[in-house]
């Protein structure tokens, strides 16, 4: 698979995702969320990095709210406005902390939530355009999560990729900067590469 094939795969999968009905997406997001909830690490984690979904991404908002309810430290990435492909990590304590940032993604408001100086998330829940069964990830093409996962903070983090079942494919090309996830939860299965 070449870079061009990766781009074609991104286009095809995003098109498929965009065609989903909202009610189907909600139903399947709930099923995938139940798989996340069945993981031991979900219950033991004190500090979790995850995202607020945009467009047709798997809806993990119920998971985020559950973590807030149990007073877990909720970390979210925030795109750096001045540095393409790079994200800071900030701590959000409630939905009011989130405002639209780059790509209209809701992110922690920089005024209320400064970048955290240090963190060691026990768990990270990671979106993708797709994953393969070795745990490798295809993103939107900016390498954002590749850089994030390469950071020292994430070395011992249990990395859980989430997506719809059709977003899990057999194999992606592996590139030198790729860091695989440890577990993939879809609406149909829990896959351990």
- Say how many Å lie between the first and final Cα of the chain, rounded: 20
Specify the stretch interacting with ligand ADP by CB under 6 A; choose among 93-101, 116-124, 139-147, 185-193: 139-147
Q: Is 180 in the site for ligand ADP (CB under 6 A)?
A: no
Q: Is 138 in the site for ligand ADP (CB under 6 A)?
A: yes
Chain positions 39 to 98 lying near ligand ADP, rule: CB under 6 A, are 85
Cβ-based neighbours of 40, under 8 Å, separated by 6 or more: none
Give the Cβ contact number of residue 65 at 10 Å. 13
What, of ligand ADP, Mg ion, none, does residue 140 touch, CB below 5 to 8 Å by kind?
ligand ADP
Q: Is 146 in the site for Mg ion (CB under 5 A)?
A: yes
How many residues at the interface with ligand ADP, by CB under 6 A? 12
**Position with the least CB separation from Mg ion:** 146
Q: Is 142 in the site for ligand ADP (CB under 6 A)?
A: yes
* Binding region for Mg ion (CB under 5 A): 146
* Binding region for ligand ADP (CB under 6 A): 85, 138-143, 146-147, 150, 175, 177
């Amino acid at each position: 698979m070449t870079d061009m094939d990766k781009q074609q795969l991104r286009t095809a999968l995003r098109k498929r995702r965009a065609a989903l009905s909202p009610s189907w997406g909600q139903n399947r997001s709930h099923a995938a969320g139940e798989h996340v909830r069945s993981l031991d690490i979900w219950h033991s984690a004190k500090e979790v990095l995850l995202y607020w979904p945009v467009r047709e991404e798997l809806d993990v908002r119920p998971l985020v709210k559950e973590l807030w309810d149990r007073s877990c430290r909720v970390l979210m990435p925030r795109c750096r406005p001045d540095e393409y492909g790079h994200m800071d990590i900030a701590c959000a304590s409630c939905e009011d902390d989130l405002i639209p940032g780059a790509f209209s993604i809701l992110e922690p408001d920089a005024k209320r939530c400064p970048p955290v100086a240090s963190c060691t998330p026990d768990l990270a829940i990671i979106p993708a355009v797709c994953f393969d069964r070795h745990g490798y990830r295809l993103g939107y093409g900016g390498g954002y999560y590749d850089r994030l996962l390469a950071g020292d903070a994430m070395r011992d983090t249990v990395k859980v990729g989430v997506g719809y079942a059709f977003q899990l494919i057999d194999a992606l090309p592996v590139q030198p900067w790729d860091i695989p996830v440890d577990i993939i939860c879809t609406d149909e299965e829990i896959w351990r590469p």
